Structure 1
């Protein structure tokens, strides 16, 4: 699992920050220089940060815990959806509904309602209803699935949350912190890096930049899942050997 190179980050535009007038002074340690009124991010700090964040995510995955991926910005949605699905992690990429974490029991009821509608649409239960009623339920299901589909299998509050653009997703970060979850985020020059546990300085507006960072973190999660699988196999094998020797 190779960490992105300095050149790969450069090619993806990870170093481009916001206009100087929009900067957050707390990002000062992560800014390399200013050019044409735009802050440029220090990619050496970015590499250090993704290494730290990747190691933490690997340990979380190895422990069998979940990481919630959140990215409702248009340019990041598809990338984050694909990334989360690749490692079977929950995700929110349409819009953050208030209380998704802090009022999780209510959200679970909505998910069950969505799943019941889906079941009725597919098992013949609604064969006797009118086309209009069926269309109404289909539209309701589509609307709910758009918001809740990515967390439909999430049975409990995740251990951590990964966010693209912590300013845009401030509600998600606030809920996660309230519940004591570990927080990871791509942090641009207009954000406060101290508001998350693992700040990854980088351009959160460009798809390529989001992709190169997110894909590396996914590879770290994959490694953690593989280590967990190996540990399970070793335990199972050890148990079989002990049983055999006992006989």
Structure 2
């Protein structure tokens, strides 16, 4: 079963890394070449590692474990929410609150507070309060919804998390590591893959690139819930990376940094 193709990856710009000066040497094995000052990611390795991540997610969800989608930077916020909702999964797409995982008891209380305020608003209870008090409660509710709406149905800690941009979401990854929660993440050429259990080498800035990967992870969640095996069972174990990549796999015109995410980066 072909889950992801070279053509799809090329069309969405998954192969474009960051400028060479920004690279993390730990990503060397995932880099195919350098063109016009930009690292080009080895897409054969992206496909192989994505398949490992896909089947891991599918099989973990099939075992009854929940997944948490995390991506708070502007260009991925909508994608994270849309794909998590499509897969009936939990998500954080605005701000990662410290202790979201490691102090989940407190987070649960805030979620309950959010639900209580929603009930008050729906019942018209706010209308019976003094104007200033009602305004403050509505402001509190909006803040809670912005940060916790994607967690409203998460009654226990997730069994795994999926992350877009490991640098921005380093606190989420740190909390997951402390609790032994596996991390699946897109790792760009400026990232450190060491703390990621299932790294997916790829562009973590371009909207189309992150949408493609996130949508396929959501597909894995849905497949896991449906209990389909797809002809393969059990979590896939990591295999040695291929030594080389066929030149045609990363073919096409070389683009500059402005093409990897819609606007030039410093």
**TM-score, normalized by length of structure 1?**
0.90
| TM-fit CA distance, 1:2 | 4.5
Task: Write the distance in 2 (CA, Å) between the matches of 1:98 and 1:136.
Answer: 24
| TM-fit CA distance, 1:49 | 1.0
Matches within 5 A, 1:143-154: 143-154=143-154
- Please tell me the root mean square deviation across aligned C-alpha atoms, in Å: 1.2
Matches within 5 A, 1:206-225: 206-225=206-225
Compare 129-138 and 180-189 and name the one that shifted more.
129-138
Correspondence for 2:251? none
Correspondence for 1:51? 51
Task: Write the distance in 2 (CA, Å) between the matches of 1:69 and 1:141.
Answer: 22
Task: Write the distance in 1 (CA, Å) between the matches of 2:116 and 2:68.
Answer: 24
Q: Secondary structure at the match of 1:219?
A: helix
| TM-fit CA distance, 1:199 | 0.2
CA deviations over 1:33-84 (Å, ceiling 9, x no partner):
0001110000101100110000000011111110110000111110111110
Equivalent pair of 1:81/1:91 in contact (CA under 8 Å): yes
Runs of 4+ in 1 over 6 A off after TM superposition: none
Q: Secondary structure at the match of 2:94?
A: coil
Task: Write the distance in 2 (CA, Å) between the matches of 1:63 and 1:100.
Answer: 23
| TM-fit CA distance, 1:126 | 3.1
Q: Does 1:82 align with 2:85?
A: no
Correspondence for 2:121? 121
Q: Does 1:106 align with 2:106?
A: yes
| Greater C-alpha Rg | 1
Correspondence for 1:238? none
Equivalent pair of 1:186/1:199 in contact (CA under 8 Å): yes
Task: Write the distance in 2 (CA, Å) between the matches of 1:197 and 1:182.
Answer: 6
Task: Write the distance in 2 (CA, Å) between the matches of 1:7 and 1:189.
Answer: 20
What are structure 1's unaligned runs of at least 5 residues? Answer: 229-247
Matches within 5 A, 1:1-247: 2-227=2-227
Q: Secondary structure at the match of 1:199?
A: strand
Equivalent pair of 1:31/1:39 in contact (CA under 8 Å): yes
Equivalent pair of 1:4/1:212 in contact (CA under 8 Å): no
CA deviations over 1:152-190 (Å, ceiling 9, x no partner):
111111000100011110000000000000111000000
Task: Write the distance in 2 (CA, Å) between the matches of 1:127 and 1:164.
Answer: 41
What are structure 2's unaligned runs of at least 5 residues? Answer: 229-266
| TM-fit CA distance, 1:191 | 0.6
CA deviations over 1:72-111 (Å, ceiling 9, x no partner):
0111110111110111111000011111100111111111
Task: Write the distance in 2 (CA, Å) between the matches of 1:37 and 1:128.
Answer: 63
CA deviations over 1:190-244 (Å, ceiling 9, x no partner):
011111000000000001000111111111111111117xxxxxxxxxxxxxxxx
